[in-house]
Amino acid sequence: MNQHDIFNSLASNAFDFLERGITEFDEAPKYSAIHFCAAVEMLLKARLMTEHWALIVSKPEEANLEKFMAGDFISATMKEARIRLRDIAEEDIPNDVFSSFQALATHRNKMIHFFHADMNNEQARALIVAEHCRSWFHLHRLLDRWGDCFADFKVNIAQADRSMKKHKKYLTAKFNALKSELSASGKAGKKPRACNACGFKAAIPKELSDSIVMVTCRVCDHSETQVGIDCPHCKRSIVIASGGYNNCPRCSGAIEPEDISNWLCDHGDASHGSGEDDYQYRDANCGCCEGYHTVISLAGGYFCVKCFELADRLETCEWCNEPNTGDMEGSYFGGCGICEGKRGWGDNE
């Protein structure tokens, strides 16, 4: 069995778990949550395996092919898989996406270790379905981004998406209970939008600027930041959302962080910095996605045009003097997202 065969086996198993996690929810919600989370983890590791099979082993340096084929190994954690996808495959999983997966894993762990007497309670079921909706929304986007790797599983992905649409019936009661609140929000000038995760028209917008809006769904709690721009390729108005892979939904042209930065600055939503401090005249680096010079000044804060994180202040790296979002305490020795600090300098001597 070669690496391609191993990948197909893992991916097939993952989609089997995913389908079980969705379709068995009526009869076994506890096991549904366990199976669904296992599928998410396996699909992340399947993508990692396309780089090399040893990367899904907890300690790749100790990986043994014979033991691996026999299933005699400790698998990497979800956090380890994320780090390796970023550092080796150059596939960054945004913070909001990973937080959704972590929430799912936390709930899964509770299911495994503790008995939940209220699992048949409608409120508890709605909570689990909301977690599934958010996680599937993010996972579906990743699978779309990784289309070349999962080309043989398009039917499985489409089937899972159809099954998830049926799954959302458990959220209808919550949506109905919120109708008066959603109506009041619309009258107050914050008209609810259709949620990209659950589909209900319950996402409340909060304008950060003329072009940037943060939306939060009152039904499934999915939250994302959306930037409205004119596509630099087809010139049509489009919306780019956080956690996506930033391709034009109309012409499929790649939308680079520079395109978003230029649009926001050209239309007065943001600027490349102003103020008394020297560093504010330069673009800053993002402490969340480690984007280089992807942070621009936005009214009331600093906005990363790569991962769409909003920070309220910048701090200077104590070693390289680059402005960054996030805590720079200890950066003299440890460095920041673009330098390794004194420790890294010493390693090169």
CA distance 99 to 79: 10
- The pLDDT value recorded for residue 290 is 85
CA distance 1 to 34: 29
List pLDDT tens digits, range 19-38.
999 988 888 888 888 999 99
Q: What is the DSSP code string of 302-341?
A: EEETTT--EES--EE-TTT--EESS--TTHHHH--SS--H
User: Does the structure show a pLDDT above 90 at 345?
Assistant: no
Task: State both tokens at 300.
Answer: 């009331």
| Residues 6+ positions from 124 with CB-CB distance below 8 Å | 29, 116, 118
- The pLDDT value recorded for residue 92 is 86
Question: Residue holding tokens 């048949």?
Answer: 120
Q: Is pLDDT larger for residue 318 or for residue 281?
A: 318
Average pLDDT for 198-213: 93
List pLDDT tens digits, range 256-266.
999 999 999 99
Using left for φ > 0, alpha for ψ between -120 and 50, and beta otherwise, residue 42 falls in alpha
- The pLDDT value recorded for residue 279 is 44
Question: Residue holding tokens 């805590």?
Answer: 327
Calculate helix-pair angle for 29-49, 122-145, nearest 10 degrees: 10
List pLDDT tens digits, range 126-170.
888 888 999 999 999 899 989 999 999 999 999 999 998 888 888
Q: Please say whether the beta carbons of 296 and 305 come within 8 A.
A: yes
Residue type, 300: G
- The pLDDT value recorded for residue 317 is 93
- CA–CA distances in Å: residue 125 to residues 29, 136, 146, 175: 7, 16, 31, 14
CA distance 241 to 60: 35
CA distance 163 to 68: 33
Task: State both tokens at 30.
Answer: 């506890």
User: Does the structure show a pLDDT above 90 at 233?
Assistant: yes
User: Does the structure show a pLDDT above 60 at 179?
Assistant: yes
Burial profile 88-100: b = 16 or more Cβ within 10 angstroms, e = fewer: ebebbbbebbbeb
Average pLDDT for 175-185: 94
Residue type, 175: F
List pLDDT tens digits, range 266-312.
988 887 654 444 444 468 999 888 889 999 998 778 999 999 999 99
CB atoms within 10 A of CB 62: 11
- CA–CA distances in Å: residue 66 to residues 62, 73, 119: 12, 10, 41
Give 75's DSSP letter: B
pTM: 0.77
Task: State both tokens at 263.
Answer: 């649009």
User: Does the structure show a pLDDT above 80 at 108?
Assistant: yes
Task: Give burial (CB, 10 Å; 0-12/13-18/19+) of 320.
Answer: middle
First to last CA, the chain: 45
Cα–Cα nearest to 168, from 135, 140, 123, 199: 199
Average pLDDT for 163-179: 89
User: Does the structure show a pLDDT above 90 at 46?
Assistant: yes
Q: If you average pLDDT over every residue of the chain, what do you get?
A: 88
Residue type, 68: F
CB atoms within 10 A of CB 239: 13
